[in-house]
Amino acid sequence: MTELSARVAAWMAAEEAVHLPPLDRTDLRKGIQGLSGLYVHQRADQDLAARAGAGPARRAAFACYFAPLHLLTAVAALERHGAALGTAGRPVWDLGCGSGAAGAAVSWCTGQGPILGVDRERGWLDAAGRTWRALGLRGRARKGTLPEGMSWPKKGEILCFGWSINELDDEARAEVLKRVQASLRVGGSLVLLEPLSRRISPWWGSWLRALSPLGVVDHDVKARVALPQQLRDLDRAAGLDHQELGARLMISAGG
Ligand SMILES: C[S@@+](CC[C@H](N)C(=O)[O-])C[C@H]1O[C@@H](n2cnc3c(N)ncnc32)[C@H](O)[C@@H]1O
């Protein structure tokens, strides 16, 4: 078992202890199935965040199942395509951090720099802190709504958007794009992950055209990953199969 697998297993056990009880394993399974249905049928205009956060079973499903899948997917993506980000431990902004999975992956793969999380849902902020502590990372999360919740750029920061840009409306997304461009111009880097389905991110091509002159490239990532036993058990219980993880990635290829 690698150091990361051991930490993910311990993190998952700790998250389950937060949610079960009062929930039981049947609640968790139903929460996973409910959220999984939302992901599969997600439309570009749907506020998945609000619906994902609705109800304790879905919150538990996100924290105990989808967040670890996000972390492992992001790590697989960065192992393949993240070399230019270096390992100097640069600060990582985790924007739309939820329970902190994507920012944790970026920090873990780039030298364990401090994580600054922002999410509009106050209820996720403690969960993000738990995630980063469980993985041995430094981080703090604050309530904020994108785009205003983003600070203006400082040199050398990594901006991470893990499955969050899809949840913005067009106006907010356009303003976030401007701030990403400003950050890249002063030596910042980008890591942006979304589901593989092209249907739900119609903005992808225009973002890429706007960001490729600043060194950003995209990849479809599909990776077979050895899942921790807890994830295999939850997969089986929910009738799902995550032996292959996938995401679309936009990433700075030049540092
Ligand atoms: C699908 S979750 C992904 C969470 C996390 N990044 C991960 O990788 O697991 C999307 C997150 O974006 C947050 N979000 C959506 N719109 C936002 C906005 N305008 N400002 C801040 N956070 C937002 C939601 O509250 C939710 O926690």
> Where do the domains of the chain lie?
3-252
More confident residue, 203 or 36: 203
Helix (DSSP H) and strand (DSSP E) numbers for the chain: 10, 7
**Distance from the Cα of residue 130 to its chain's centroid:** 15
Please name the residue whose Cα sits nearest to atom 12 of ligand 1: 96
**Rounded CA separation 40/196 (Å):** 11
Cβ within 8 Å of residue 144, ≥6 positions away:
118, 119, 120, 150
Fold of 3-252: Rossmann fold (3.40.50)
Confidence of residue 51 (pLDDT cuts 50, 70, 90): low
Return the C-alpha torsion angle 130, 132, 137, 141, nearest 10: -100
User: 126-142, pLDDT tens digit by residue?
Assistant: 999 999 999 999 999 99
Cβ within 8 Å of residue 188, ≥6 positions away:
153, 154, 155, 156, 157, 158, 159, 252
> For residue 250, which of 177, 169, 154 has the smallest C-alpha distance?
177
Whole-number Å distance, alpha carbon 96 to ligand 1 midpoint, is: 3
Average of per-residue pLDDT across 246-255: 90
Please name the residue whose Cα sits nearest to atom 24 of ligand 1: 49
Average of per-residue pLDDT across 208-225: 97
**Rounded CA separation 141/170 (Å):** 25
Residues flanking ligand 1, CB < 6 Å: 49, 67, 70, 96-98, 101-102, 118-121, 124, 145-146, 149, 162-164, 167-168, 172
What is the reported pLDDT for 40? 66
User: Whole-number mean pLDDT of the chain?
Assistant: 92
Whole-number Å distance, alpha carbon 49 to ligand 1 midpoint, is: 6
Q: What number does the ligand 1 atom closest to the CA of 98 have?
A: 27
